[in-house]
Amino acid sequence: MKGMDGLDSLQSKKLTGNIQAHLFPTKKFKTVLITVFIQQALEKDSAAKTALLPAVLERGTSNYPTFMDLKRELEMLYGASLGSDVVKKGERQVVSFSLEVVHDRFTPGEQLFKEGLSILKSVLTDPLLDNGSFKQEYVEQEKDQLRKEIEGLINDKVSYALERCVQEMCKQERYGIYKYGDAETLKVVSPRELYSYYQELFRRSPVDVFVVGDFEPEEAFRLLEQSLVFSRSSTSSSLPFIEQNHFRKEPLQHVEKLPVNQAKLTLGYRVNTVYQDEDYPAMMFYNGILGGFPHSKLFQNVREKASLAYYAFSRLDKLKGIQLIGSGIEVDNYQKALDIIQEQVDSLKQGKITNDELENTRRGLINQLKVIADSPFALVNYFLDALVGQRRGNVEDLIGEIERVQAKDVVEAAQKVSLDTIYFLRPVNGEGGQNNS
Amino acid sequence: MKWQIKENQTIQEKVFVADLSPGPALYVLPREGFNKKYAIFSTRFGSIDNCFMVKQNGEKKKVSVPDGVAHFLEHKLFDNEDGNIFDRFAEYGASPNAFTTFTHTTYLFSCTDFFEENLGLLLEFVQSPYFTEESVAKEQGIIQQEIMMYQDNPDWRVFFNLLGALYHEHPVRKDIAGDVESISRITRDVLYTCYNTFYHPANMAIFVTGDLSPDQVLKQVTDDLERRSINGSQDIERCYPGENASVNQRKVTQELSVSQPMLYMGFKDTYSYLEGRELLVRDLVSELLLEMIFSKSEPLYTRLYEEGLIDERFSAGFVAECSYGYTIMGGKTKDPDLLHQRILEGIHQIKKEGLKEESFARHRRKMQGEFLKSFNSLEFIANNFLANRFRGVDLFEIVDALERISFQDIESRLHEHLNEELHAVSIINPLD
Average pLDDT estimate for A206-226: 96
Candidates A428, A66, A7; CA nearest to A208 is A7
pLDDT in tens, A7-47: 667 999 999 889 999 999 999 999 999 999 999 999 999 99
Candidates B144, B376, B3; CA nearest to A328 is B144
Rounded to a whole number of angstroms, the distance from the CA of A247 to the nearest CA of chain B is 33
**Residue B78 to residue B96: CA distance in whole angstroms:** 10
The verdict on a CB contact (< 8 Å) between B86 and A294 is: yes
Residue A433, pLDDT score: 61
Residue B78 pLDDT exceeds 90: yes
**In chain B, % of residues over pLDDT 90:** 92
Compare CB distances from B370 to A79, A151, A310 and report the shortest one's residue: A79
Task: Provide the phi-psi class of B202: left if phi over 0, else alpha when psi is between -120 and 50, else beta.
Answer: alpha
Residue A3, pLDDT score: 41
Question: pLDDT grade, residue B420 (50/70/90)?
Answer: very high
**Residue A308 to residue A222: CA distance in whole angstroms:** 57
Give the CATH number of domain A11-227: 3.30.830.10
Is residue A106 less than 8 Å (CB to CB) from chain B? yes
Average pLDDT estimate for A193-212: 96
Question: pLDDT grade, residue A233 (50/70/90)?
Answer: confident
* DSSP, res B272: S
Average pLDDT estimate for A199-226: 95
* DSSP, res B238: B
Q: Which chain A residues are closer than 8 Å to B10 by Cβ?
A: 106
Compare CB distances from B145 to A26, A78, A309 and report the shortest one's residue: A309
Residue A247, pLDDT score: 80
CA atoms within 13 A on the CB side of B142: 22
Write down the mean pLDDT value for chain B.
95
B contact test, residue of A27, A75, A293, A295 with most B CBs within 10 A: A75
Average pLDDT estimate for B133-155: 94
Question: pLDDT grade, residue A400 (50/70/90)?
Answer: very high
Compare CB distances from B376 to A29, A295, A371 and report the shortest one's residue: A29
Residue A430, pLDDT score: 67
Q: Which amino acid is at B366?
A: K
Q: Which chain B residues are closer than 8 Å to A159 by Cβ?
A: none
Q: Which chain B residues are closer than 8 Å to A30 by Cβ?
A: 11, 372-373, 375-376
- A381, containing H or E segment: helix A376-389
Q: Torsion over CA of B255, B256, B257 and B261, rounded to 10 degrees? A: -70
CA atoms within 13 A on the CB side of B55: 9
Average pLDDT estimate for B138-153: 94
Residue A437, pLDDT score: 39
Q: Torsion over CA of B371, B373, B376 and B380, rounded to 10 degrees? A: -30
Q: Which chain B residues are closer than 8 Å to A327 by Cβ?
A: none
Backbone angles phi, psi at B398, to 5 degrees: -55, -40
The verdict on a CB contact (< 8 Å) between B145 and A329 is: yes
Candidates A161, A179, A162, A231; CA nearest to A48 is A179
Q: Which residue of A has its CA nearest to B260?
A: A152
**Angle between helix B133-151 and helix B69-76 axes, rounded to 10 deg:** 120
List Cβ neighbours of A250 (8 Å cut-off, separation of 6 or more). none
Q: Which residue of A has its CA nearest to B430?
A: A155
Candidates B152, B160, B166, B170; CA nearest to B251 is B166
**Residue B209 to residue B221: CA distance in whole angstroms:** 14
**Residue A137 to residue A393: CA distance in whole angstroms:** 47
**Residue B104 to residue B275: CA distance in whole angstroms:** 15
pLDDT in tens, B247-290: 999 999 999 999 999 999 999 999 999 999 999 999 999 999 99
The verdict on a CB contact (< 8 Å) between A106 and B11 is: yes
Is the omega angle on the peptide bond into residue A217 within 30 degrees of 0, that is, cis? no
The verdict on a CB contact (< 8 Å) between A30 and B373 is: yes
The residue count for chain B: 432
List Cβ neighbours of A332 (8 Å cut-off, separation of 6 or more). A430, A431, A432
Residue A246, pLDDT score: 75
Rounded to a whole number of angstroms, the distance from the CA of B401 to the nearest CA of chain A is 17
The verdict on a CB contact (< 8 Å) between A367 and B373 is: no
Q: Which chain A residues are closer than 8 Å to B312 by Cβ?
A: 145
Residue A416 pLDDT exceeds 70: yes
Q: Which residue of B has its CA nearest to A330?
A: B145
CATH of A252-427, one of 1.50.10.10, 3.30.830.10, 3.40.50.970, 3.30.365.10: 3.30.830.10
Average pLDDT estimate for B316-325: 97
Residue A148 pLDDT exceeds 60: yes
Candidates B224, B146, B228, B151; CA nearest to B183 is B146
Q: Which amino acid is at B213?
A: S
* DSSP, res A376: H
Rounded to a whole number of angstroms, the distance from the CA of A145 to the nearest CA of chain B is 7
The verdict on a CB contact (< 8 Å) between B362 and A28 is: no
The verdict on a CB contact (< 8 Å) between A67 and B86 is: no
pLDDT in tens, B336-394: 999 999 999 999 999 999 999 999 999 999 999 999 999 999 999 999 999 999 999 99
Residue A7, pLDDT score: 66
* A199-258 residues touching B, CB cutoff 8 A: 258
Is residue A293 less than 8 Å (CB to CB) from chain B? yes
Residue A1, pLDDT score: 37
The verdict on a CB contact (< 8 Å) between B260 and A152 is: yes
The verdict on a CB contact (< 8 Å) between A374 and B34 is: yes
Candidates B300, B281, B270; CA nearest to B423 is B270
The verdict on a CB contact (< 8 Å) between A28 and B87 is: no
Q: Which chain A residues are closer than 8 Å to B376 by Cβ?
A: 29-31, 375-376
Residue B1, pLDDT score: 61
* DSSP, res A85: E
Residue A106 pLDDT exceeds 90: yes
Q: Which chain A residues are closer than 8 Å to B308 by Cβ?
A: 141, 144
pLDDT in tens, A302-332: 999 999 999 999 999 999 999 999 999 999 9
Candidates A139, A107, A124; CA nearest to A30 is A107
Residue B413, pLDDT score: 98
Helices then strands (H, E): number in chain A? 15, 13
Candidates B309, B322, B302, B288; CA nearest to B390 is B322
Residue B194 pLDDT exceeds 50: yes
Residue A244 pLDDT exceeds 90: no
Task: List the catalytic residue out of B74, B243, B298, B321.
Answer: B74
What would the DSSP string read from start to end of B359-401?
A: HHHHHHHHHHHHHHHGGG-HHHHHHHHHHHHTTT--TTHHHHH
Domain limits, CATH 3.30.830.10, in chain A: 11-227, 252-427
**Residue B208 to residue B214: CA distance in whole angstroms:** 9
**In chain A, % of residues over pLDDT 90:** 88
Residue B233, pLDDT score: 67
Candidates B66, B76, B179; CA nearest to B134 is B76
**In chain A, % of residues over pLDDT 70:** 96
pTM (predicted TM-score): 0.94
Rounded to a whole number of angstroms, the distance from the CA of B406 to the nearest CA of chain A is 18
Write down the mean pLDDT value for chain A.
94
B74 is catalytic: yes
The two beta strands, B262-268 and B4-8, are unpaired
Question: pLDDT grade, residue A432 (50/70/90)?
Answer: low
Average pLDDT estimate for B225-242: 84
